[in-house]
Homo-oligomer: A and B are copies of this chain.
Amino acid sequence: MTQPPDPDARLRLTYEVGCRVREAPELARAVAYEQTVELPPHVVSEDLAREIVGHVDSVEPLEAGGSRLVISYDPRIVGGEIPQLFNLLFGNVSMYEGVRVTDVQWPAAMLEEFAGPSHGIEGLRRLCGVAEPRPLLCAALKPLGLGVDELAGLCFDLARGGVDIIKDDHSLAGQATAPFDARVARCQAAVERANRLQGGSSRYFPNLTGPVSVLERRLRATREAGCVGVLLCPWLAGPDTVRWIAETTGLAILAHPAWCGPLMRPDHGLAPGLLLGRLFRLIGSDGVIYPNAGGRFPISETVCEEINRNLREPWCAIRPAFPVPGGGIDVARVPYWVRRYGADVIFLIGGSLYAQTDLVQACRELAAVLRSTA
């Protein structure tokens, strides 16, 4: 392994750490060794120290206290593999305290090794038959505990109401109350029936997060039913499972952030814009669900806008992905969020729709609001 001469060819990570700038150089060196050779410096040969260990590019104090470190790595350490990329980004330092990865500079050559979303914003719009520049409407199919008939009935109503994407709640797995194959076949059929009745083009995305042993079978059932997309929780299915499904099946993917909360704390972890905006996009999510500001989860509008930017802005050949704010969006506030987030967004509405007496009518009114913004 020889050194790539171009500094842009290195994978450059920015960390914010809790310790003061006096102790920060030592921490930076520890991180650079920890994440690569995982050996004390005096045991590592000069060649490996130069080629494999991270280079500490800068250490500077932060105004709010703590320090900012920039460490760069040879991308060949990653070898084009998602799990090892994730490991390099935060594997062992996850067990440190007060280390937060806030930004990554990606070498163009490295990004070429990953296909990213197989549809992206444009492709998902096409799949959903929404050419006009308006936000899409997504509703979660729930709750867990309903039978297949009831869920299919809800699908029919949501599709009649003009919901663009009806996705399984991520708690719907293979439970006996609504087994996967029957649920997917019946729900998809219900959506197609509603589409035929009114010339709609709603799509049903079943939750594919499940045991490895049934993944291929459920994929087959999903495609045989005629679904064009699925829901996946990258942190429960494994991040590379998302990439594999994106690259090999042609299915569109909505990614759900279950289990991701602790990874995005303000003093330790990864910036939400990096984890949900960049990494989830890189592994192939066409849309990324996140808890919106003002809902049930603590997150600021600034952070949401950073996620949106990282999902949507041009990024070499990696297609842009839809931000999918959810987690307790009030129907009444949707116009506000449209003004804030623009047209390339999918609003995920759940409880606030189900709380209405007439579900079909509630969906229609909301869909009309979104169409009026085009």
* Residues of A participating in the B interface, judged by any CB pair closer than 8 Å: 1, 30, 34-40, 42-44, 47-48, 51-52, 76-84, 86-88, 90-97, 140, 142-146, 169-171, 173-177, 209-213, 233, 235-241, 243-244, 247-248, 257-263, 265, 268-269, 291, 296-299, 327, 350-351, 354-355
Q: Is the CB of A240 within 8 A of B262?
A: no
**Contact A40 B171, CB 8 Å, known A91-B258, A236-B239, A296-B34:** no
Residues in B whose Cβ lies below 8 Å from that of A144? 36-38, 52, 77
**Contact A262 B268, CB 8 Å, known A40-B351, A236-B83:** yes
Of the residues B95, B171, B210, B262, contact of A36 by C-beta under 8 Å: B171
Q: How far is the CB of A21 from chain B (nearest CB, A)?
A: 21
This protein's copies in its complex? 2
Of the residues B1, B175, B265, contact of A79 by C-beta under 8 Å: B175
Q: Is the CB of B268 within 8 A of A240?
A: no
Of the residues B48, B92, B177, B327, contact of A143 by C-beta under 8 Å: B48
Residues in B whose Cβ lies below 8 Å from that of A43? 351, 354-355
Q: Is the CB of A210 within 8 A of B84?
A: yes
Q: How far is the CB of A207 from chain B (nearest CB, A)?
A: 9
Of the residues B42, B52, B145, B298, contact of A97 by C-beta under 8 Å: B298
Q: Is the CB of B248 within 8 A of A213?
A: yes
Q: How far is the CB of A290 from chain B (nearest CB, A)?
A: 9
Residues in B whose Cβ lies below 8 Å from that of A211? 81-83, 240, 243-244
Complex Cα gap A209–B173 (Å): 25
Residues in B whose Cβ lies below 8 Å from that of A83? 173, 209-211, 233, 236-237
Of the residues B30, B84, B95, B143, contact of A257 by C-beta under 8 Å: B95
Residues in B whose Cβ lies below 8 Å from that of A351? 38-40, 43
Complex Cα gap A263–B94 (Å): 9
